[in-house]
Chains A and B, each alone.
Chain A
């Protein structure tokens, strides 16, 4: 278990370093600096500002300064919001995205696993066909369309739910439901196909012939074994949902990480872009690690750090 943990931790750190380096290089290669505006600043002022933010130093020096600061937890000043540091902005935005994302993830995955097992275990072909269509429709509908149509229906036509921002709990309903779509669809399709495969395995027949009730078999034996493959894909999905989706945050005017990333890219607010990318990369590394470890706990064959090859 410890070897697995250490190995995952070290690859995670290497990956993070690669992510930071890559975004740093990409941003510096981009045409146009953060202080090139329509109204030309006097050259001396321009020079001073650029010197203040180390933009005139050679690339390797900027990189070294930046890496050093990151190690101390300082993501630097935002070029656009002068009174706030990137660390502040990123922390605040992640809190918003995290709250929304974890609700959506919980809703989507639990609903997906529930309906997925129902679809796989039911003897009613019509129910399975209907639920499967929902699943396919779920992976086929982009979240921005689903959210847009929900707003159109519930906020604009029926006038029952608020459409934007996050002021009251009621404001959470539409964005959470929208964000839950993708995790729901993946959880549903994966649970359905694994449960269908497992329910014909020998050990299930064994339990049945031993006289266990169908419900007990479904929950204790089939479902437990079906969660394994779900966990494997859940890492990146969880990271994507919890750190906020660009489109959904844009749609509902939520001040989360995704929205900050988009505005930061258009504003050429380099440190903020890197800051958001680091948080996202860290979340990705963390969730991949967490799901790997959980798999190790659920499946003893993985414990010694080996991969499952059968």
Chain B
């Protein structure tokens, strides 16, 4: 089947399988040596994905993006603790622009005179929590689903994949909006609703990886000595899938943040009193004529975080599956 999902080209299943084909031959040699001591099989390092760099942190891309993300996370944690109170309404200072610099309000204020930096930091909490939680939920569901589908094979596998095909064919954003009207629009329900359509990506990738893992000799060897399924999953599949799991999680986070911010921007996402970057940008859009900073600053945070997350995904991909060129 062709891949119908919007995804960055680099994350498709095909990429993974080509790498596996390349490493399969050296893998066989290593495995042949290990078969003797199969009871405590050392992790076959080359079985899936072979890093070329010694450390992930050798790549400047990885360091730069992680620094940006860390900065955003620190702002989200500490600014609400030490900054000005974001609920303090100050009718004397509405729509104060950040230029010229004001030591009281670094980013200026909104229409009610509330400190914009603190509001953005609170918004960061919601946006990041929704992004990471959605990734976590969809990775857990997707991995379980993918492993079950690949291991059961046959008709069950076929049915499980048909179900995913149907999910892909649904108008996701519309159903997300409908379900969120139904479930309410708090943080938890948004996470659940966004996960609804993001886990199938993980499930597909994990399934295809497990399918090719099952053809590996060390798995066959483990089976032939009568190793049970649970042990197989925990000792061999999960450790070998870890890289891929981290990678798909990294790709899922920015997508969830994107969808959430779009929904909140048009007023169908997170509900007041909570606000995310999207809803702050939405408020800013209403006042863009008189106070452009109320749109620009939340927008800046969204774009910066999204670029950093996407580049981080890229760096991880380079690290795990170096592209041939």
Contact = CB atoms under 8 A, between A and B. Distances in A.
Tell me whether chain A's interface is mostly helix, strand or loop, or mixed.
helix
A115 to B, nearest CB: 15
Contacts of B165: 11
Given A152-B295, A247-B265, A265 B178 contact: yes
A156 B292 contact: yes
Given A145-B303, A156-B288, A284 B171 contact: yes
A15 B266 contact: no
B174 A235 contact: no
Interface stretch (A20-28, A52-60, A82-90, A205-213): A20-28
B309 to A, nearest CB: 8
A136 B314 contact: yes
Interface string A224-240: 00000100110111001
A250 B265 CA distance: 9
A265 B303 contact: no
A257 to B, nearest CB: 10
Contact of A27 (B9, B178, B258, B295): B178
Nearest to A231: B2
Interface in B50-101: none
A246 B266 contact: yes
Contact of B170 (A22, A229, A276, A292): A22
B141 interface: no
A148 interface: yes
Interface range for A: 35 or more
A1 interface: no
A140 B307 contact: yes
24 contacts: A11-B169, A15-B166, A29-B182, A30-B182, A139-B8, A139-B310, A141-B303, A144-B266, A149-B296, A152-B295, A156-B292, A233-B4, A233-B6, A235-B4, A236-B4, A236-B5, A246-B173, A246-B266, A262-B177, A265-B178, A265-B181, A276-B174, A307-B1, A307-B2
A196 interface: yes
Contact of B268 (A26, A143, A265, A307): A265
B281 interface: yes
Nearest to B255: A139
Contacts of B1: 307
A194 interface: yes
Interface in A185-200: 186, 189-190, 193-194, 196-197, 200
A137 B308 CA distance: 10
A292 B182 CA distance: 35
Question: Which of A29, A31, A250, A276 has the most chain B CB atoms inside 10 A of its CB?
Answer: A250
B10 interface: yes
Contact of B178 (A23, A143, A190, A236): A23
A241 B278 CA distance: 21
A281 interface: yes
B178 A26 contact: yes
